């Protein structure tokens, strides 16, 4: 999905690189795309390596991580957009020991925490979509939010990524069930001092909807959970895409502020006005 609205003064805090094996384009091309669209700053948050064989098809290895560092450092030159350094670190059972030692050793600006697996099932993987037709959808969502609770309790992450990712293929629980299962996860995110992202990649997926939904975002706002914006770009043209729609969603949920981050410290700023579409 593409927009031709005026540029917004909003950073894009979720950008990948080819090191994840499912993104294309040099990091300099992502920076150039951001500059062309007036995005003031970007944060590369590629999938963090692990010390196990967890999902090797979608992340860099520990041996490749120095290359990732160098790639980002090489484009941190003066002039907009400012380039920040981050990772998207998956939460899975047993990851804590590695991450609690590895994350503090690196000068990250932002660490996104995400859940992509229920046990061994990559529930957002198009190649495993058929599994949804053989499972109890509500039970899967319950298990997902239980993992989000665990993620928040580690206090290892700054932001919860694409909070309602299980809706990617439009498999959803009943509305009342969603609130019941999401509330504890939102409580734990708030208690951990984490934020959540408005992730516009959902607009480019079968569900055709930003992560999270208006309901979830409203419940997050009621708990004072701060927000940032991310395109989850896997190609340069994705950078900043869908941000006008995300800004409208933030206002609809009652938000008036968003945060920027440096060295894992958040600063709240007023949301910019919604730009008018061109005539």
**pLDDT tens for residues 188-205?**
999 999 999 999 999 999
78-91 residue pLDDT tens: 889 999 999 999 99
pLDDT recorded at residue 278:
64
The answer on pLDDT for 277 being more than 80 is no
The answer on pLDDT for 55 being more than 50 is yes
Q: Residue 133 CB: number of other CB atoms within 10 A?
A: 9
154-198 residue pLDDT tens: 999 999 999 999 999 999 998 889 999 999 999 999 999 999 999
Q: Between residues 1 and 142, which one has the greater pLDDT?
A: 142
State phi, psi for 102 to the nearest 5 degrees.
-80, -45
**119-124: long-range contacts, CB 8 A cutoff, minimum separation 24:** 122/55, 123/165, 123/166, 124/165, 124/166, 124/168, 124/169
**Residue at 2 is within a domain:** no
Number of domains observed in the structure of the chain? 1
**Residue at 4 is within a domain:** no
**Residue at 63 is within a domain:** yes
CATH code of the domain in which 101 resides:
3.20.20.140
Say which residues have a Cβ less than 8 Å from residue 6's Cβ, sequence separation at least 6: 38, 275, 276, 278
**Residue at 244 is within a domain:** yes
**Residue at 198 is within a domain:** yes
Cα radius of gyration (the chain): 18
pTM value is: 0.95
15-36 residue pLDDT tens: 999 999 999 999 999 999 999 9
Structural contact between residues 175 and 215, judged by C-beta atoms closer than 8 angstroms: yes
Structural contact between residues 45 and 15, judged by C-beta atoms closer than 8 angstroms: yes
pLDDT recorded at residue 27:
98
pLDDT recorded at residue 4:
46
The mean pLDDT of the chain is 95
% of the chain exceeding 70 in pLDDT: 96
* Among 210, 211, 197, 182, CA closest to 258: 197
Residue appearing with tokens 């099932």: 121
Q: Residue 5: which pLDDT band, with cuts at 50, 70 and 90?
A: very low
The answer on pLDDT for 151 being more than 60 is yes
**Residue at 5 is within a domain:** no
Distances in Å between the Cα of 269 and the Cα atoms of 170, 186, 252, 272 are 33, 22, 17, 9
Structural domain range at position 59: 12-270
| Chain centroid, CA 4 distance in Å | 23
């Amino acid at each position: 999905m593409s927009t031709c609205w005026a540029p917004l003064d909003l950073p894009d805090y979720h950008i990948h690189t080819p090191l994840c094996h499912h993104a294309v384009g040099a990091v300099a091309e992502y920076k150039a795309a951001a500059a062309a669209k007036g995005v003031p700053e970007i944060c590369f948050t590629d999938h963090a390596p692990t010390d196990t064989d967890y999902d090797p098809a979608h992340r860099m290895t520990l041996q490749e991580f120095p290359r990732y560092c160098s790639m980002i450092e090489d484009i941190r030159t003066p002039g907009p957009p400012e380039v920040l350094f981050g990772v998207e670190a998956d939460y899975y059972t047993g990851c804590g020991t590695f991450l609690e030692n590895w994350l503090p050793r690196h000068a990250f600006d932002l660490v996104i925490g995400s859940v992509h697996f229920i046990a061994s099932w990559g529930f957002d993987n198009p190649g495993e979509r058929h599994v949804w037709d053989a499972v109890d959808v509500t039970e899967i969502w319950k298990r997902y939010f239980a993992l989000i609770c665990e993620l928040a309790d580690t206090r290892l992450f700054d932001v919860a990524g694409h909070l309602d990712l299980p809706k990617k293929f439009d498999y959803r629980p009943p509305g009342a069930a969603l609130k019941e299962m999401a509330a504890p996860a939102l409580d734990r995110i708030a208690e951990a001092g984490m934020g959540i992202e408005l992730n516009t990649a959902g607009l480019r997926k079968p569900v055709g909807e930003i992560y999270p939904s208006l309901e979830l975002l409203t419940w997050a706002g009621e708990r004072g959970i701060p927000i940032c914006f991310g395109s989850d770009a896997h190609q340069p043209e994705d950078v900043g895409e869908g941000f006008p729609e995300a800004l409208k969603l933030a206002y609809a949920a009652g938000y008036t502020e968003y945060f920027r981050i440096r060295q894992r410290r958040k600063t709240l700023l007023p949301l910019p006005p919604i730009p008018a579409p061109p005539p």
